[in-house]
Structure 1
Amino acid sequence: MEQRLITFNFLLLTTFTSFFWFSSSSPGLSFNFYGASCPTAEFIVRNAVRSASTSDSTLPGKLLRLVFHDCMVEGCDGSVLLEGNETERSDPANTSLGGFSVVESAKEMLEIFCPDTVSCADILALSARDAVEFAGGPHVQILTGRKDGRVSLASNVRPNMVDTSFTLDEMMKLFSSKGLSLDDLVTLSGAHTIGSAHCSAFRDRFQEDSKGKLTLIDSSLDKIYADDLKQRCPADASPSITINNDPETSLSFDNQYYKNLLSHKGLFQSDSVLFSDGRTREMVEELSNSLESFFEKWGQSFFKLINIGVKTGNEGEVRRLCTSINIG
């Protein structure tokens, strides 16, 4: 309990310090933005996340992945929530996303109590924040006041999304273009402490022979772990099969992800490279040794992530439905 209190106090300090930097670049955002217009907004979102996650323990990981896929493309504007042909949501890289129902459920409730007030972008950011806390992670104070974007193009997804086979240089280039540092990259990769992936996401670490047998070709992966992956994800595995990102504590938001990297049990190449590359190895070791340090850094990096490219004022709208832009 004492460790949690120390972490919480640090997060409060770093979050409020960060506020002054973000307030200058996003003047429409503020803490407790809905304090007067919809005082129960954050409570309603938190309740929706907790209720759904209690019934389905995989939802925290899905909500965290959903906000990442939203923010990295058009900024944190809820554009990934829009349905339709050629939208971000229709791109193959996003077809496996989940957690939409939680956002939509919270939106339906908010439209009853505070119609035309709370944006889907804010609901998504709050949902991801609350999902982390539900899974045992830290509570992070975040800014609200985002507007929903009106543009969602499938063609924008791939150029702005990390592929699981990326090198460190490729990831650094993409994160830098979003205003995120190398430290943010290592910290936000810790999101893989929860969630799951389809077999195809790490199949490039194996080679299939003419008899349909998989052989490990990535020497950075622990052989026993690789054998387990081959057994659970054979060459003819159903596309619906998923594997936990973290083989040890898949439902807990903790620093086990970094311990796994030290044991050569990173599921993706983009995970393993964080330990094999000298530029990030020391930070991986630090976070593997200290849950408190991970939580502190998570609060700062997550805060930056959900403020990428936010839209305020007339730059966007407050959608009545998260799945479609307003008409009329």
Structure 2
Amino acid sequence: FVTVPIFKTCLNHLQNKCRGSCPAAEITVRSASDLDLTIPGKLLRLLFHDCFVEGCDASILLQGNGTERSDPGNTSVDGFAVIDSAKRLLEIFCPETVSCADILALAARDAVEYTGGPSVQIPTGRRDGRISAAANVRPNIIDTSFTLDEMAKLFFAKGLSMDDLVTLSGGHTIGKSHCSSFNDRFKLDLNGNVTVIDSSQDQQYAVQLSKMCAAGVRDDSITVNNDPGTPFQFDNQYYKILLEHKGLFQSDSALVNDNRTLSKVVEFANSQDGFFESWVVSFLKLSIVGVKTGDEGEIRQSCSMPNR
């Protein structure tokens, strides 16, 4: 690994001779986010789904039948175009130098900083994986209906702790989610009648969500902000919402329904600085889960297909 972020070691202009890297990801993230405020949340989620399956090796970016990207569990994952755009720039000015895995990790890092979150120094030097199998997705990603024990088991398997689980769940402070990812918490019939199922969620909030999702009950076309307060700002509002029992997912509510995690939620709700300090540590750990180096991988010329 190299300890200096690759997108901040170039000269100011892409046309200048590349010193091993280019600022394409940072430029692309900011440009895309200026046009679409949902981009940062998408990039952060994309990194999670990549790192938890086969490690942080950009295997989720590979296209084709039977790949991770083709699995129904990744249907709503987005942000691929941002990574592809950065890669195209890099291949023009710095060919065969920067891996897609590094681009993805740094783009997610920059997305957090762009939305007001802390700056994180992460190592580079990841190689791109050659293996991408849909069968590996479901056993390795967190489902929004998971209990705390189910989430902790997966996190522990990736070398992440319970504190990392609470901290990285704070990524839900930005982004949007389809109604299908949380509508098991209430029952909504075709006539718009609501029955609240999950008593751990604030009842008024559940009714509000059900009404927002009503228009998409047949096709799941509606998305809802993960954080109803400050949906495009990376802050500690997520934890305050949890204490009000207004977590969007069952997996969110699980954090305040268990004494193993409740104290950390309260700590972060009371201190954004504390949350940010913990985020720096936990995000770094996430970004190096199962990384490939040396002969373990390659540097793809295109993020959507392996080299030939």
- If the length of structure 2 is used for normalisation, what is the TM-score? 0.94
1:294 aligns with 2:266: no
Offset at residue 211 of structure 1 (A): 5.5
- Name the residue aligned to 1:132: 112
Offset at residue 238 of structure 1 (A): 3.3
Offset at residue 249 of structure 1 (A): 0.3
Amino acid at match of 1:32: V
Offset at residue 227 of structure 1 (A): 1.4
Contact 2:24–2:87 under 8 Å retained in 1: no
Offset at residue 45 of structure 1 (A): 1.3
Please, which moves more after superposition, 215-224 or 200-209?
200-209
1:143 aligns with 2:123: yes
Offset at residue 283 of structure 1 (A): 0.4
Contact 1:33–1:145 under 8 Å retained in 2: no
Query: How many equivalent residue pairs?
Result: 299
Amino acid at match of 1:247: P
Contact 1:116–1:320 under 8 Å retained in 2: yes
Amino acid at match of 2:137: V
Paired with 2:272 and 2:229, the residues of 1 have a C-alpha distance of: 15
SS of the aligned residue for 1:158 comes to coil
Contact 1:79–1:149 under 8 Å retained in 2: yes
Contact 1:198–1:243 under 8 Å retained in 2: yes
Paired with 1:297 and 1:291, the residues of 2 have a C-alpha distance of: 10
Paired with 2:54 and 2:88, the residues of 1 have a C-alpha distance of: 24
Equivalent residue for 1:112, pick from 82, 85, 92: 92
- Name the residue aligned to 1:285: 266
Offset at residue 119 of structure 1 (A): 0.2
Amino acid at match of 1:258: Y
- Name the residue aligned to 1:259: 240
Contact 2:4–2:121 under 8 Å retained in 1: no
Offset at residue 91 of structure 1 (A): 0.5
- Name the residue aligned to 1:3: none
Amino acid at match of 1:325: P
Amino acid at match of 1:301: S
Paired with 1:213 and 1:285, the residues of 2 have a C-alpha distance of: 35
Task: Describe how 1:1-328 pairs up with structure 2 within 5 A.
Answer: 29-32=1-4, 38-39=18-19, 41=21, 43-208=23-188, 213-234=193-214, 236-327=217-308
Paired with 1:211 and 1:232, the residues of 2 have a C-alpha distance of: 14
Offset at residue 179 of structure 1 (A): 0.2
Paired with 1:125 and 1:252, the residues of 2 have a C-alpha distance of: 20
Contact 1:42–1:126 under 8 Å retained in 2: no
- Name the residue aligned to 2:13: none
Amino acid at match of 2:4: N
Aligned-pair Cα RMSD in Å: 1.6
SS of the aligned residue for 2:195 comes to strand
Offset at residue 248 of structure 1 (A): 0.5
Segments of structure 1 that go 5 or more residues without pairing to the other structure are 1-28
Please, which moves more after superposition, 33-42 or 242-251?
33-42
Runs of 4+ in 1 over 6 A off after TM superposition: none
Segments of structure 2 that go 5 or more residues without pairing to the other structure are 11-16
SS of the aligned residue for 2:220 comes to coil
- If the length of structure 1 is used for normalisation, what is the TM-score? 0.88
Paired with 1:79 and 1:220, the residues of 2 have a C-alpha distance of: 36
Contact 1:120–1:319 under 8 Å retained in 2: yes
Amino acid at match of 1:185: L
Offset at residue 32 of structure 1 (A): 2.3
Offset at residue 95 of structure 1 (A): 1.2
Paired with 1:145 and 1:324, the residues of 2 have a C-alpha distance of: 19
Offset at residue 208 of structure 1 (A): 4.2
Amino acid at match of 1:276: N
Amino acid at match of 2:201: L
Would you tell me which structure has more helix in proportion to its own residues?
1
Offset at residue 276 of structure 1 (A): 1.1
Offset at residue 203 of structure 1 (A): 1.2
Contact 2:172–2:227 under 8 Å retained in 1: yes
Percent of matched pairs sharing the same residue: 62
Paired with 2:22 and 2:144, the residues of 1 have a C-alpha distance of: 33
